[in-house]
Structure 1
Amino acid sequence: MSKTFISYIKCVGTGPKHNRDLSTEEMRDAMKQMLDGRAEPEQISAFLLGWRLKPESIEEYRATLNILDEQTKKSPVSNGLELGYPFDGKGNHPYIFSLAAPLVAPYGMTVVVNGTALQSSKGGATVHDICTTLPIPNNLRYFDRTDYCKPLSKLTNIRQKLGLRTGLNTLERLPNVGACNTALIGVFHKPYVKKYAEIFGDRYQRLMIVKGDKGTPEIFKKSHLWICESGKIDEIIIDPADFGIETPTFDEKLDKEAILEMIANPSETLQQIAKLNAAIWLFAKKEVSSIHEAWEMLNG
């Protein structure tokens, strides 16, 4: 049992009057102890729960991300765009990244997604399910966490038993394994936009944050999009109706097999949604000056 780690648990788990944020060095050490096994499973669970409830500070997030970077095996890709998906999947809509990726291949873009083998907590499918079950385009790269960050992967069982989202759920979405200069990540709520910009913004030349489908970076309906670049955040609104696309409707719950079938045999509407997202990717990578220009180019 790590006695030092107990002091970190006390920082996050003694209640509102006595909790405090950890310093950068304290957070770095706490994360190292979780990853190298010095902290016991019970201690890790206690810390992650307290850290979530405290809640996490930007300094703590960035210190943790720094340690994860040190443990992550990078595999740089050419002209990469990283998409930050929740690892626990979704069950309301199919994924569109494997449908959109071929559309940006002519522009030399490599699309990067990350994941691992988890049962979807939402009863649907995960990025891992898509990339290991269906054929994927040549310009789509899937990185599995068990390969690029084994120490973090070893915490999966503890985190699943805890049964709650923690700060690690946020950080694991953009590990930047592919050393991309551009990334898209989804948010559930607008207040998280500034937080995500502060956590991830300086890791990319351009970070785009989408109030997308269930926290994913995918747009299926009228959505807000924030562009983080050079310390500034600009907001735009994307509405599929402006591109002549009807908002698709699906059953409230889709299982894994239904999602895989929709991707393998996409409807015309789903293909149009994929094309709109591809246009957003081209705009993100500055291949065009606007999403409308990218849309016209993809339809040319």
Structure 2
Amino acid sequence: MSNVFRELLKKVGSGNHTGENLTRAEAATATQMMLLGEATPAQIGAFLIAHRIKRPTGEELAGMLDAYDELGPKLQPVSSARPVIILGIPYDGRTRTAPIAPVTALLLAAAGQPVVMHGGDRLPTKYGLPLIDIWQKLGVDWTNLPLTKTQQVFEQTGIGFVYTPQHFPLTQAIWEYRDQLGKRPPFATMELIWCPYAGEAHIISGFVHPPTESMFQVALGLRGVTKFTFVKGLEGSCDLPRDRTAIIALSQAPQGIERLLLSPHDYGFITKNVPLGTTEELLTQIQEVLSGKPSELLQTALWNGGFYLWRSGICLDMRSGIAKAAELLTSGAVDKKLQELRQIINSADNTLFQQV
């Protein structure tokens, strides 16, 4: 048993009257000790559930991110006119609404905006459809790439994917605890604002509960992050909803936020989300979007693409962003980016990089 971890556990697990929040340094230490297995299984399980009940603070999230920075992988800086976008999406996937994030990433990359995504396989507690499965169905398999090859793909295509089972295996043990506990620990919140990129970044994170937004702001502020976007998106993702007004927080200097409310109706979109069917059905829908064929999912792609093209600074406003998204999709530029990605990942030298 670790006596150091025992003291940290006592702070978060002592209840409303005597419990205390961890400092940033303590949160970093606790996270490192859990990832490295220096705390016992009983201590780790108790900490995760106690911390969930207590709820994390922004300072604690900053400390957890510090530990991820210390132990985890990072893609190295690439040449870009704008900060690289990091899309933070719940790792346990989607179960109700069709995800559009891979199309958004392809669209942004086709317009010259680099994007980094991160995540793993089907994971607890939702075991929903993860991004990695969608990419695989599109013929893009990130799962066997070492970080060196992922870096090369990122440099050549403007899209990178940090696949945690391969690039950050220390996190796998925490997922086992999460499955056994049946609840999302604060790690799941922190992952949404994790940045596995060493250069200038624009953190874009989805969230569900309003208090999460303020925690994000504090955590990123402590870490010196000045460019961020928080989206109350579909199932906690970065995908803008169509069935309601999108609630968005934009970073605004100095150390503030600008509230943005976007109504789909104001831009000619029907207020209806596309439901998630089978993975095969989603693949067919995405292929239709990439060909520019009219569909409900195409409307979702335009709604999201327009916003992110504007937010990244490529377009001056939402309407020009939507028009640009339509042009990129109907011209075949987004599908061409997918073909480029496939070709590079499946290139003849792939075996060489797998041995690195």
Normalised by the length of structure 2, the TM-score is: 0.76
Structure 2 equivalent of residue 216 of structure 1: 237
Q: CA deviation at 1:255?
A: 4.4
Q: Distance in 1 between matches of 2:42 and 2:60?
A: 21
- Aligned sequence identity (%): 25
SS of 1:228's partner is strand
Which residues of structure 1 form unaligned runs of 5+?
Answer: none
- Is the CA contact (8 Å cut-off) linking 1:99 and 1:271 kept in structure 2? no
Residues 165-206 of structure 1: CA distance to partner in whole angstroms, max 9, x if unpaired?
A: 111001112321134521211111333222211123555442
Distance 1:77 1:92 in 2: 35
Distance (whole Å) between structure 2 residues aligned to residue 294 and residue 220 of structure 1: 17
Q: Tell me by how many angstroms 1:96 deviates.
A: 0.7
The residue aligned with 2:61 is: 61
Deviation per residue, 1:56-113 (Å, 9 max, x gap): 1222111111011111211135442111100001111111122233333343112221
2-structure distance, mates of 1:20, 1:103: 45
3-state SS of the aligned residue for 2:259?
Answer: strand
The answer as to 2:95 corresponding to 1:91 is: yes
Q: Which letter maps to 1:183?
A: I
> When the two structures are aligned, how many residues end up with a matched partner?
299
Match of 1:236 in 2: 260
Q: Is the 8 A contact 2:92 2:127 kept in 1?
A: no
Report the residue type matching 1:158 in the other structure. Y
Among 309, 314, 319, the alignment partner of 1:282 is 309
> Following TM superposition, by how much is the alpha carbon of 1:39 offset from its aligned partner in structure 2, in angstroms?
0.6
Greater Cα shift, 232-241 or 136-145 = 136-145
Candidates 149, 167, 192, aligned match of 2:212: 192
Residues 1:33 and 2:33 are matched in the alignment: yes
- C-alpha contact 2:48 2:186 (8 A) present in aligned 1: yes
Corresponding residue of 2:175: 156
* Matching of residue 47 in structure 1 with residue 47 in structure 2: yes
Specify which structure has the higher proportion of helix.
2
Measured at CA, do residues 103 and 54 of structure 1 come closer, stay the same or move farther in structure 2, by a change above 3 Å?
closer
Q: Distance in 1 between matches of 2:90 and 2:11?
A: 28
4+ residue segments displaced more than 6 Å:
none
Distance 2:109 2:297 in 1: 19
CA deviation after TM superposition for structure 1 residue 22, in Å = 1.8
Which string of whole-angstrom CA distances, capped at 9 and with x for unpartnered residues, describes residues 102-145 of structure 1?
33334311222111112464464111211233235944322101
Match of 1:134 in 2: 138
Note if 1:182 corresponds to 2:191: no
Please tell me the residue identity of whatever aligns with 2:228: L
Instruction: Provide closer, same or farther for how the CA distance between residues 100 and 64 of structure 1 changes in structure 2, counting only shifts above 3 A.
Output: closer
1:256 and 1:299 map into 2 onto residues whose CA distance is 24
- The 3-state SS of whatever aligns with 1:191 is helix
